[in-house]
Amino acid sequence: MKFGHNFQRALENEMPPGWSEAAIQYKALKKCIKRFVYELSSLGLSAETIRRLISSSDENQQRAITMTYSLAKEGHVVVPKIVVNVNFEKLKDDEFAASMVKQLSASSNIANSFHTPTSRTFHINEKGGNDNHCSNIKVGQINTYTDDSEVQQMELLLNFDHEFFEKLTTELQNVEHLQQQQREILHSAFENLTHDISLTASPVSKKHYNSLYCWRTIFRLYMDADIFMSSKEADGNRERSPELAQRHLSWFDQQVRKAHCLPSSTKHHDWVFYNQFVELNRNLLKMTFFQSMNKLAVTKILKKFDKRTSLTAQPLFFKVIDSDPLLVADNVAKAICFNLNSKLFSVIPQLQDFECAICSNIAYKPVRLGCSHVFCLHCLIILQRQKVNLCPLCRAEEVLKADSRNIDQALLNFMKTFFPREIKQKRVENEEDLFTGPSTSVRVISDKNACIIM
Ligand SMILES: [Zn+2]
Ligand SMILES: [Zn+2]
């Protein structure tokens, strides 16, 4: 993930105190790599040599010396392991391998760790056959690749790759710790705010209707804006990059202002809550940026590690930490947004969830058929007059059975509370229908008459 330069700088400047200290320390890790490369080269292990040793081609299987690299987790720290496999039978025919083994065994700081308790001393013939020159490297008696060849392994114990991974995993834990804290702070801030909004927008009296409709518009625009996650299936419900999220957040703010749903006085508590809402979203954005920035830093530093050493740390590292819940932060924005969206829906229901599938207006008065589908009374009466018996949604034979007992009273009261303006409008339209008649030419009755018919 790449960030636009200006965007990155702007966000970095806004980072809350303590955040940059907790972030992945790229420069320090880079120094670590440098020291490790030096350590390797003192053993004759240049990147080019390691590439030759580590490649797993068939040809390599025949080689006298190969190298295997792995990462494992001890506690929460990732520990590297470099193992040199030596086939002593082939060693005398392989000049490169022989000199390699000689060089490695001459080093005192390596190869002290063994896989099996069985160990022995081996001798390396110098060119010219000086048998007295022996190294005291002990090697483990290890698994053999083929039945007739004896392959032994010795582990290279180096300092700076251990330091590198210890540093990296510790920093990742710091990052996750900070994110955990921030997540809790943001989470409760959102909770408190939605609670406040639910109080001001609660339609306990006509006085609150403006707030109710104001927040319904804001929340609808908020859902439409899809700021942190794309809700489109084509996008695979993917999280957005912080830069894109930033653009969606500005779009949302512009739309709210364009909609003129907020009161004219900016001192009004709805404005105060709205500004808080936008601010919290900005904080969430900073967090996603922080998260992506660290992810990027880890990927980049491992790439550098691999490039300088020819080892394959990057894929191994992500595989190893993947199973560690402490090290792999779940997406903060995703978790908070999911929670927030469901909360917003329950605080202020949206009209689209209460529409009649036939007329696309509010399904008032709501008639619940035996198949549990809900239509407005107006449309249901038209269906009955046309002697249509099949439910338009599921084709169950339920329409003609319905009578006044099918009116969903609880839903009706709920709609009256939360959609007073839509209901009023619907009543007016139904009255108009009475005089003009709908396109079906069936004379339609007002709600009052409809009850008698049913
Ligand atoms: Zn309808
Ligand atoms: Zn149905």
Alpha-carbon separation of residue 235 from 215, 231, 401 (angstroms): 28, 8, 44
* C-alpha 395 to ligand 2 mean position (Å): 6
> Which tops the pLDDT comparison, 77 or 127?
77
Task: Label residue 176 by pLDDT band (50, 70, 90).
Answer: confident
Digit-coded pLDDT (tens) for 34-84: 999 999 998 889 999 999 888 766 565 677 888 889 999 888 889 999 988
Asked whether the predicted pLDDT for residue 443 surpasses 80, the reply is no
* C-alpha 390 to ligand 1 mean position (Å): 15
Separation between Cα atoms, residue 223 and residue 218, nearest integer Å: 9
Q: Indicate the CATH number for domain 352-453.
A: 3.30.40.10
* C-alpha 377 to ligand 2 mean position (Å): 15
- Residue 278's pLDDT is 96
* C-alpha 403 to ligand 2 mean position (Å): 15
* C-alpha 375 to ligand 1 mean position (Å): 6
* C-alpha 205 to ligand 1 mean position (Å): 27
> Which tops the pLDDT comparison, 448 or 262?
262
* C-alpha 370 to ligand 2 mean position (Å): 7
Following DSSP, what letter does each residue of 52-105 receive, concatenated?
HHH---HHHHTSSEEEEEEEEEETTEEEEEEEEEEEHHHHTT-HHHHHHHHHHH
Alpha-carbon separation of residue 85 from 141, 226, 343, 399 (angstroms): 11, 54, 59, 79
Q: Which ligand is nearest to the CA of 383?
A: 1
* C-alpha 393 to ligand 2 mean position (Å): 5
Q: 277: which 2 tokens?
A: 């809402």
- Residue 259's pLDDT is 95
Q: Which ligand is nearest to the CA of 393?
A: 2
Q: Which ligand is nearest to the CA of 365?
A: 1
* C-alpha 438 to ligand 1 mean position (Å): 12
* C-alpha 107 to ligand 1 mean position (Å): 86
Q: What are the beta bridge partners of residue 113?
A: 155
* C-alpha 407 to ligand 1 mean position (Å): 13
Q: Which ligand is nearest to the CA of 371?
A: 2
* C-alpha 346 to ligand 2 mean position (Å): 25
Q: Which ligand is nearest to the CA of 360?
A: 1
* C-alpha 371 to ligand 1 mean position (Å): 17
* C-alpha 448 to ligand 2 mean position (Å): 25
Q: Which ligand is nearest to the CA of 379?
A: 1
* C-alpha 417 to ligand 2 mean position (Å): 26
- Residue 434's pLDDT is 60
* C-alpha 87 to ligand 1 mean position (Å): 82
Following DSSP, what letter does each residue of 254-302 receive, concatenated?
HHHHHHT-S-S-TTSHHHHHHHHHHHHHHHHHHHHHHHHHHHHHHHHHH
* C-alpha 372 to ligand 2 mean position (Å): 6
Digit-coded pLDDT (tens) for 177-236: 888 888 889 889 999 999 999 999 988 888 889 999 999 999 999 989 988 887 776 666
Asked whether the predicted pLDDT for residue 7 surpasses 70, the reply is no
Which helix or strand (DSSP H or E) is residue 367 part of?
A: strand 366-368
Task: Label residue 141 by pLDDT band (50, 70, 90).
Answer: very low
Of 7-21, 25-39, 248-262, 360-374, least confident by mean pLDDT is 7-21
* C-alpha 368 to ligand 2 mean position (Å): 9
Asked whether the predicted pLDDT for residue 403 surpasses 60, the reply is yes
* C-alpha 365 to ligand 1 mean position (Å): 9
Q: 204: which 2 tokens?
A: 């306990």
Domain range annotation of the chain: 43-106+111-156, 173-348, 352-453
* C-alpha 36 to ligand 2 mean position (Å): 69
* C-alpha 397 to ligand 2 mean position (Å): 8
* C-alpha 375 to ligand 2 mean position (Å): 10
Question: Pick from 295, 323, 317: which is nearest to 305 by CA?
Answer: 317
Q: Which ligand is nearest to the CA of 399?
A: 2
* Cβ atoms 384, 400 nearer than 8 A: yes
3-state SS of 118-183 is CEEEEECCCCCCCCCCEEEEEEECCCCCCCCCCEEEEEECCCHHHHHHHHHHHHHHHHHHHHHHHH
